[in-house]
Chains A and B, each alone.
Chain A
Amino acid sequence: MAKSHKPIIWGLFAGGGMVSAFVTPVMILITGLAVPFHLISREAMSYDRVHAFASNPIGKLLLFVVIFLPAWHAAHRLRITAHDFGLRQDIPIAVVLYVTAAVGTIMTISALLKM
């Protein structure tokens, strides 16, 4: 059988879709809405506390998984969605989306490794 890169992309799409389904809503709450709406205190999201979380190996791994998988899920699904909206330049669209996801992944890894 001919080798294909499809299973990798598909695995990232499915795994990312599942991780996103479970954690993205609560992540949006925590990082974007809980502090302004006083659901959690501003101190809970203080530099010292969040930095300590990102410095811990388990915290690092958790942050990596909940960021990189949804990024690849979104990139792959947006590629298909672009087609559904009548954009038929699949290759340039795929390149832009996957490169964006790759840059985001590399930024996340390098930021997490510095903490």
Chain B
Amino acid sequence: MMGRKPYIREVSKTTWWLKHPRYMNYMLREVTSLFIGLYTAVAIDGVWRLQQGREAWEHFIAWTFSTEAVFMHIVFLVFAVIHTTTWFNVTPKAMPMHVGDEPLPDAAIIGAHYAGWVVVSVLALLIAGK
């Protein structure tokens, strides 16, 4: 039996993350998944239309010129970049690396990821644009 009433802190289940900038940063990082998911749905739609044929694909490309599609893709891009930077910034914790017995400095691990990101992005754009 409890001798006294335990203290229970009242915490909102839906708005707790508004209480501290650190919690807001956490939520910003986690909600990137919503936009990665939505963009992936657009990409699947694109592949599906490509398989349907020339006309369906042309419709898809024409749609990307619309104001709402441009707006959507800018929002997707902003959140995708937030995902990339937050993901890379925790890589030293998620997969610490060693050279011999020496731990690799955090900056080296993070820097290597950023360098790889730039190379992949530039190459992809160059290949896509011929």
Contacts and interface: CB of A to CB of B under 8 A. Distances in A.
B47 A86 contact: no
B94 to A, nearest CB: 8
B129 A39 contact: yes
Interface in A58-94: 63, 66-67, 70-71, 73-75, 77-78, 80-81, 84-86, 88
B44 A34 contact: no
A112 B48 CA distance: 8
A57 B32 CA distance: 31
A113 B128 CA distance: 22
Nearest to B41: A104
A81 B36 CA distance: 13
A99 interface: no
Contacts of B50: 47, 50-51, 54, 111, 115
B57 A50 contact: yes
B69 A30 contact: no
B87 A81 contact: no
A31 B63 CA distance: 11
Nearest to B74: A33
A55 B43 CA distance: 16
Task: State which size class the interface on B falls in.
Answer: 35 or more
B43 A27 contact: yes
Chain B contact residues, majority secondary structure: helix
Given A25-B121, A47-B57, A74-B40, A111 B51 contact: yes
B13 interface: yes
Contacts of B46: 31
Contact of B43 (A31, A47, A110, A114): A31
B109 interface: no
A95 interface: no
Nearest to A62: B124
Contacts of B124: 23, 26-27, 30
Contact of B73 (A23, A32, A41, A73): A32
A35 interface: yes
Given A18-B87, A21-B83, A67-B43, 18 more contacts: A17-B83, A20-B84, A22-B117, A24-B83, A26-B121, A28-B39, A28-B73, A31-B46, A34-B129, A36-B64, A36-B70, A45-B61, A45-B128, A47-B57, A54-B51, A74-B40, A75-B37, A111-B47
